Amino acid sequence: MRALLSYVENVRDVALDHVQLAAPRGCELEARRFFGEVLGLAEIQKPAALQPRGGVWFALGQQQLHIGVEEPFVPARKAHPALRVAADALDDLAERLSAAGAKVVWDHAVAGSGRFYTEDPWGNRIEIVAGT
């Protein structure tokens, strides 16, 4: 591990490629509704070799969010992605999520930062933070 950390500290071209969230088999329609329609993420096609595994991939700027099937499925309650949105869009997104039936829990623990938590359709934690 120490060697890997030393390597990463000395390499300038290391960046986050994607984050994967687990979901139960048959999750694709709910994933498209929640991540595509409610959050507004663009779906991207999975490579043909991975399509039989199920799940859905979405673009997040230059990164990606992968929804992958895991059995047995257990939602991630602590580990989570944090999605950054424009500061002036934070309240609107919270309202859109609430209107879609998603739980929205505001968190004011970090002074000067706008953020809330929600859950995907399977109970995975997702943080939404206001960008600058």
> Integer distance in angstroms from the first to the last C-alpha of the chain?
34
Confirm if 85 and 130 have CB atoms less than 8 A apart: yes
Could you tell me if residue 10 is inside a domain? no
Could you tell me if residue 34 is inside a domain? yes
The alpha carbon dihedral of 8, 1, 78, 23 has a sign of positive
60-93 residue pLDDT tens: 999 999 999 999 999 999 999 999 999 999 999 9
pLDDT value, residue 8: 57
* Structure-model confidence comparison of residues 56 and 109, the more confident one: 56
Phi, psi angles (nearest 5°) of residue 94: -60, -40
**Which of the four pLDDT bands, split at 50, 70 and 90, describes residue 6?**
low
Q: Which domain holds residue 20?
A: 16-130
Could you tell me if residue 4 is inside a domain? no
Strand 105-106 relative to strand 115-119, pairing: antiparallel
Could you tell me if residue 77 is inside a domain? yes
Question: Average of pLDDT values for 119-126?
Answer: 97
pLDDT value, residue 112: 81
CA 98, distance to chain mean position in Å, is: 17
**Which of the four pLDDT bands, split at 50, 70 and 90, describes residue 7?**
low
The alpha carbon dihedral of 73, 76, 80, 83 has a sign of positive
Confirm if 6 and 31 have CB atoms less than 8 A apart: no
pLDDT value, residue 75: 97
pLDDT value, residue 10: 65
Question: Average of pLDDT values for 36-53?
Answer: 97
Number of structural domains in the chain: 1
CATH number at 126 reads 3.10.180.10
